[in-house]
Amino acid sequence: MKKLNNEFIRFAIVGGVNTLNYYLIFLLLNNVFNFYYMVAHVTGIFISMIISYFLNCYFTYGVKPTWRKFFQFPLTQLVNVTVSSSLVFVFVEFFSLSSNIAPIAAMFITVPVTFLVTGKILKQNGAQHET
């Protein structure tokens, strides 16, 4: 249980850093370069997902990155990205939530699922942090 708590704390830290990365990219593309909000959202997710992979390997789960896991990581996140993108769309189009706030609201729904899926993928056949 302690190991799970430590992993979740590290995951939360990486999540905070990753959310900041995503949000800064999103705001830059959406507000400075005037990208359509969904294009800015998906681009931000893609770039932050690459950063997240390495942070989660090294910091959260203490596993060695591999090409196999690198390519599995975004595939397993497909559900998360789909749900997140759908929520952003629904929040903006149906609930008139600001496109600058909608991604943050969606995050509260998707984080617990992401933790479980990420751990399952990255921990396969890899050394992990000591408790």
Q: Is 123 helix (H, G, I), strand (E, B) or coil?
A: coil
Cβ(61)–Cβ(119) below 8 Å: yes
- Position with higher pLDDT, 116 vs 67: 67
pLDDT average, residue stretch 109-117: 79
| pLDDT for position 97 | 96
Rounded CA separation 108/25 (Å): 19
Q: How confident is the model at residue 50 (pLDDT cuts 50, 70, 90)?
A: very high
How much of the chain, in percent, has pLDDT values that exceed 70?
91
| pLDDT for position 131 | 42
C-alpha 95 chain-centroid distance: 23
Rounded CA separation 113/38 (Å): 22
Closest CA to 88 of 104, 107, 102, 108: 102
Closest CA to 46 of 76, 30, 22: 22
Judged against a pLDDT cut of 70, whether residue 34 lies above it is answered with yes
pTM score over 0.85: no
